[in-house]
C-alpha cells in the first residue's frame, strides 16, 4: 500500500512565471483583453485602489510571492515523493470543443512539456484575446529558459491504477496515454518543472480537470468527491510508494475577488467540506475556475493537516482591480 506524504496548492499565473517586469507588461494585456470590461472595472473600482498598484507595493508583493513559492518547492523536495499527482486544467493544449472531457487521467510513460505549437496555433487562429507585444517577448524568453529537457517521465502504472480504481468508484474518467504533437502538456503541469522543482525527474501523473470550458465543468462538490476517490486510489496503489498531490492554478483572476479567495482559503484551512462544496459556481469562471483544482486537492487531502505558507496576497497590477489572488497551501500528515 502507498501513502500520500504531502499535498500542496499553488497558483501558476504569469505573475509567478515572469520577472517583475511582467507585472508591468500585464497592464497592457489587461487594457486590451476582450474578456473583461477594463474601463468599466476601472471606473467601478473601490477608492484607494491606486495605492495597491504603486511600483513599490507591487515589487514587495512580487518578492513575497517568489519567497513563498520557493518555500513550497523546498517542502516538496524535502518530502522526496516517488511520484507526483498533479491536478490541473487543460487549456486547449490537448482537448478542444470536439472532445472536452470533464476529467482525464494521463497514463503514458512520459510527457512533453508545452511547446511553441500551441502559441503559434493561437496566433494563426486568432484565439488570443489580448495584444501586448512586450508581454509576449517576456513569455517567450521565459519559455526558452526552461530548465532541462522537454521530455519528462510520467508514472504510467499509477495513472492506469487511478483510472481503473476511479472507474470502479463510479467516476467515468477519460484516459489518455499520448499528447498532441507540438502542443505538449500545458502550463498547469509544466509549472512544476519551471518554477516549483526546476529540473526534477520525479515522474508525474497529470489529472486534467475541465474547469474552464462549458458546458461540462464539474461542480465543486464533484471535484471534492473526485479528490476523495483519488486519495483512496493512491493509498491502494501497490508497492509502498510515497506520493505527493499538487493542485495547480487559481486563485481569482483576471479580476481579483478577495472575498472569494479568502472564503476558499478559510474553508481549506478549517477543513470545511460543506463550504468548499458550496462555492458559488457563477464566480468560478475563466482563470478563477481553477479554484476547482484546489477543491479536489482538499478532498484528496482531507485526512491531512493544512497550513498556509505566508499570507494571502492580492497581487493587483492595475487600478481596475485586475491581477491574481496568490495563496500557497501545504497539507502534512
Measured CA distances, 126 to 27, 97, 130, 138, 141 (Å): 21, 16, 10, 20, 22
- Read off φ and ψ for residue 192, nearest 5 degrees: -55, -45
Q: Under DSSP, is residue 296 helix (H, G, I), strand (E, B) or coil?
A: helix
- Nine cell digits for residue 46: 473601490
Q: Under DSSP, is residue 10 helix (H, G, I), strand (E, B) or coil?
A: strand
Q: pTM of the predicted model, to two decimals?
A: 0.93
CA distance 304 to 330: 9
Q: Give me the pLDDT at residue 265, please.
A: 98
Indicate the CATH number of 3-332 among 3.40.50.1100, 1.10.357.10, 3.40.830.10, 3.90.1010.10: 3.40.830.10
Q: Considering only residues 253 and 35, tell me which one the structure prediction assigns the higher pLDDT.
A: 253
Which run of H or of E encompasses 38? helix 38-44
Q: Give me the pLDDT at residue 12, please.
A: 95
For the chain, the distance separating the N- and C-terminal CA atoms, rounded to the nearest angstrom, is 16
Dihedral angle of Cα 157, 159, 165, 167, to the nearest 10 degrees: -130
User: How many CB atoms within 10 Å of residue 40?
Assistant: 10
Q: Under DSSP, is residue 88 helix (H, G, I), strand (E, B) or coil?
A: strand
Q: pLDDT-derived band of residue 121, with 50, 70 and 90 as boundaries?
A: very low
Domain ranges of the chain: 3-332
CB crowding 56-79: b at 16 or more within 10 Å, else e: eebeebbebbeebbeebbebbeeb
Q: Give me the pLDDT at residue 139, please.
A: 80
CA distance 96 to 104: 13
Measured CA distances, 82 to 182, 196, 201, 243 (Å): 28, 16, 10, 6
Distance of CA 189 to the CA centre of its chain: 8
Residue 23 · residue 15 · CB < 8 Å = yes
CA dihedral over 299, 270, 303, 186, signed as positive or negative? positive
- Read off φ and ψ for residue 68, nearest 5 degrees: -65, -40
Pick from 43-47, 92-96, 241-245 the range whose average pLDDT is largest.
241-245
* pLDDT 10s digits, 140-174: 887 776 656 678 899 999 999 999 999 999 999 99
- Nine cell digits for residue 49: 485602489
Exposed, middle or buried, 184 (CB in 10 Å: 0-12/13-18/19+)? buried
Which run of H or of E encompasses 264? helix 258-269
Cell numbers 526558452: residue: 144
Strand partners, 207: 87, 105
Q: pLDDT-derived band of residue 325, with 50, 70 and 90 as boundaries?
A: very high
Q: Give me the pLDDT at residue 114, please.
A: 67
Give, to the nearest 10 degrees, the angle between helix 220-235 and helix 156-168.
Answer: 120
Exposed, middle or buried, 172 (CB in 10 Å: 0-12/13-18/19+)? exposed
CA distance 329 to 43: 34
* pLDDT 10s digits, 253-308: 989 999 999 999 999 999 999 999 999 999 999 899 999 999 999 999 999 999 99
Amino acid at each position: 500500500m502507498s501513502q500520500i506524504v504531502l499535498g500542496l496548492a499553488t497558483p501558476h499565473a504569469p505573475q509567478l512565471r515572469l520577472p517583475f517586469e511582467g507585472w508591468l507588461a500585464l497592464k497592457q494585456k489587461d487594457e486590451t483583453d476582450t474578456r473583461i470590461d477594463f474601463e468599466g472595472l476601472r471606473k467601478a473600482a473601490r477608492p484607494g485602489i491606486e495605492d495597491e498598484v504603486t511600483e513599490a507595493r507591487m515589487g514587495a508583493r512580487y518578492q513575497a510571492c517568489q519567497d513563498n513559492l520557493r518555500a513550497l518547492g523546498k517542502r516538496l523536495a524535502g518530502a522526496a515523493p516517488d511520484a507526483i499527482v498533479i491536478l490541473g486544467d487543460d487549456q486547449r493544449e490537448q482537448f478542444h470543443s470536439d472532445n472536452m472531457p470533464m476529467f482525464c487521467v494521463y497514463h503514458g510513460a512520459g510527457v512533453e512539456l508545452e511547446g511553441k505549437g500551441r502559441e503559434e496555433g493561437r496566433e494563426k487562429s486568432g484565439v488570443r484575446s489580448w495584444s501586448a507585444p512586450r508581454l509576449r517577448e517576456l513569455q517567450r524568453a521565459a519559455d526558452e529558459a526552461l530548465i532541462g529537457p522537454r521530455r519528462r517521465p510520467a508514472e504510467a502504472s499509477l495513472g492506469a491504477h487511478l483510472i481503473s480504481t476511479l472507474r470502479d468508484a463510479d467516476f467515468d474518467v477519460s484516459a489518455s496515454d499520448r499528447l498532441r504533437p507540438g502542443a505538449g502538456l500545458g502550463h498547469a503541469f509544466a509549472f512544476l518543472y519551471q518554477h516549483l522543482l526546476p529540473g526534477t525527474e520525479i515522474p508525474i501523473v497529470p489529472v486534467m480537470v475541465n474547469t474552464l470550458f462549458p458546458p461540462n465543468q464539474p461542480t465543486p462538490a464533484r471535484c471534492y468527491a473526485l479528490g476523495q476517490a483519488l486519495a483512496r486510489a493512491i493509498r491502494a496503489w501497490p508497492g509502498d510508494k510515497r506520493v505527493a498531490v499538487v493542485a495547480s492554478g487559481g486563485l481569482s483572476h483576471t479580476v481579483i475577488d478577495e472575498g472569494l479567495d479568502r472564503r476558499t482559503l478559510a474553508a481549506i484551512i478549517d477543513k470545511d467540506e460543506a463550504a468548499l462544496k458550496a462555492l458559488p459556481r457563477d464566480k468560478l469562471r475563466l482563470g478563477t475556475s481553477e479554484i476547482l483544482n484546489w477543491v479536489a486537492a482538499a478532498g484528496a487531502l482531507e485526512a491531512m493537516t493544512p497550513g498556509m505558507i505566508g499570507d494571502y496576497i492580492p497581487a493587483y497590477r492595475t487600478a481596475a482591480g485586475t491581477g491574481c489572488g496568490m495563496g500557497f497551501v501545504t497539507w502534512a500528515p
